[in-house]
Amino acid sequence: MKRNAFFGFLLFPFLSIIISCGSTMSLPQYLEHLDSEEYSPCVSELEKRNAKESNNDRIRDNFELAMIRHYQKDYDSSLSILNTTDRLMDDAVTESITKGFASVVANDNAAEYTGNSYEYIYINVFNALNYYNKGDVEEAAVEVRRLNEKQRKYLNQYGEWIKNDNTQIEISDTYKKLRLDTSKITENIPKKPTEADIFRDSATARYLSIVFAMMDDSVNNSWNVAADSRTLKALNPEFDVEAEGSISDGMGRLDVLAFTGLIGRRGERRLIVGPFPGIQFPTGSHFVYIPAFDLEFVFPEFPAPQTVLMPQEMPTFGWGPSFTIYPGKNEIIKMPQNSVDSIRIVFDGKNVSQNIKLSLLEDFNYAVQQDVNSKARKAYSRSVKRSMVKKFTAVAGATATLLIAEEAVNKEENLFTIAAYAATYLSAAKAADQIDRTETADIRQVYTLPAQAYAGGIELPGGKYSFKVQYLSKNGDLLKEESFKDIEVKNGKTVLVESSCQK
């Protein structure tokens, strides 16, 4: 029995590596294709993952696939996938609320991906656009109303949980056990989230709510444009909200909603604390010595770290060794390079002479920053607890295996048993040292969401208009141009055109 436990202990790190390599494409490879707008290998990878009966990331992978289909203007496919994903996400979120947002004891990445709070809202934003681009304004409006309901049902409760969650006690207890100088280490760990770190609403959602109300009487009767306008003004004071909520007599309005780039990515921050001195375990008439070891704690960080910081010497208090705290990382997650600096509408012909510059409506990266800020400290606290348990369980396992080898030497001391003991010692020590490699931060997110949304428009007499949406770099270079032909503007109504550039 002891020998089976020993071999299981030694095999654990190896099995963990095998399990983690199940995907056919690494995350950096996937993101490289995505950044280059090479969607075919991304779609193939996502479909391969979703074909598996068990996929903890199914919500994330579905959302990824639906967004790619949306950019490809395959609105039917995107709509079908997002509807399924929305139901899965809603069930997962409902369960989280019922359990009080309880966290898992095992590695966070082993849990089902339920979606980040902003993704729970954005899924309806893009599904509304799917319906609209298919010509169904009423269903598009239903999606925005669903979004409003989610705010009442989920975001408010989630926000209260974030504000009231206190992780300081459990972190402090661990520091005391390790004899760490809390005043020094606190400088390098996530801060407690504040009210400003809680995602509450989307400017793009409020904008769509107003625009849909201005284009359809049945929608307009059921919505409060004034309330949406106040909310949008609070979310983005620089955006011209007044122009969206009123149309002059005898005129109609043409609006363009443009999405640019790809959303920013979170990465892992790894704190390596150690080395702690070797430990001598009394085992009856003997002592088993476990060599010096490190402890590693992880948490998500935004933007994803692109460099390795130098180690910092930190003192302990009372008895104990000095140690280094190393803000390292598991792997570099390359940040997307969003090249678009400005967007304009250029009309064809002489019926409209002026060019219209769109305004920044929403920076989706801010939502990621808020999400990471609200989760990082709790993730760090869970990692501290898990690391302590796993490390000292590993040390105890190493002690047991060394005792077996030591008993063999005591029974018959020869070259073979001594060599076996030495090999066992090295293997057990290495396994105990490697156990922290199984501790990884949960940095999962939907990578295919855009980085920014721009919007704006112009009042025009009723009629059909052709124009181009041009995406410009900071130097004024034309990055992309998308043409729209014979878009009909009706008096007293708004018509919306969606465009995107993922460069």
Q: What is the pLDDT of residues 150-168, one digit of tens each?
A: 877 777 777 766 666 666 6
Query: What is the structure's pLDDT at 306?
Result: 86
**219 band by pLDDT with thresholds 50, 70 and 90:** low
**376 band by pLDDT with thresholds 50, 70 and 90:** very high
**378 band by pLDDT with thresholds 50, 70 and 90:** confident
CA dist 269 and 108 (Å) reads: 15
Chain position carrying tokens 């790894």 = 270
Chain position carrying tokens 């319906």 = 131
**388 band by pLDDT with thresholds 50, 70 and 90:** confident
Q: What percent of the chain has pLDDT over 70?
A: 70
Query: What is the structure's pLDDT at 366?
Result: 97
**Residue 197 in contact with residue 374, Cβ under 8 Å?**
yes
Query: What is the structure's pLDDT at 233?
Result: 96
Helix (H, G, I), strand (E, B) or coil at 98: helix
Amino acid at 53: E
By the 10 Å C-beta count (0-12 exposed, 13-18 middle, 19+ buried), 324 is classed as middle
Instruction: Give me the helix-helix angle, 203-215 and 225-235, nearest 10°.
Output: 150
**Residue 355 in contact with residue 263, Cβ under 8 Å?**
no
**287 band by pLDDT with thresholds 50, 70 and 90:** low
CA dist 168 and 377 (Å) reads: 9
Tell me the range of 52-66, 375-389, 421-435 where mean pLDDT is highest: 52-66
By the 10 Å C-beta count (0-12 exposed, 13-18 middle, 19+ buried), 459 is classed as middle
Helix (H, G, I), strand (E, B) or coil at 279: strand
Q: Average pLDDT of the chain?
A: 82
Give the model confidence (pLDDT) of 251-268 as tens digits: 999 999 999 999 999 999
Supply 359's token pair: 């305004």
Query: What is the structure's pLDDT at 1?
Result: 41
CA-closest candidate to residue 253, choices 241, 261, 262, 244 = 244
Query: What is the structure's pLDDT at 158?
Result: 72
Give the model confidence (pLDDT) of 4-37 as tens digits: 443 343 333 433 433 334 457 899 999 999 999 9
**386 band by pLDDT with thresholds 50, 70 and 90:** confident
Angle 118-124-126 from CA coordinates, rounded to 5°: 95
Supply 466's token pair: 């052709």
Bridge partners (DSSP) of residue 54 are none
Looking at per-residue confidence, does 408 or 11 come out higher?
A: 408
Bridge partners (DSSP) of residue 237 are none
Residue 413 confidence (pLDDT) above 70? no
Query: What is the structure's pLDDT at 396?
Result: 64
Q: What percent of the chain has pLDDT over 90?
A: 48
Bridge partners (DSSP) of residue 290 are 279
CA dist 197 and 368 (Å) reads: 10
CB neighbourhood size of 361 (10 A): 23
CA-closest candidate to residue 25, choices 53, 61, 77 = 61
Supply 185's token pair: 């280490």
CA dist 71 and 43 (Å) reads: 13
CA dist 92 and 74 (Å) reads: 27
Can you tell me the mean pLDDT for 358-362? Answer: 98
Query: What is the structure's pLDDT at 6?
Result: 37
Looking at per-residue confidence, does 147 or 272 come out higher?
A: 147
CA dist 201 and 196 (Å) reads: 12
Enter the pTM of the model. 0.85
**Residue 115 in contact with residue 86, Cβ under 8 Å?**
no
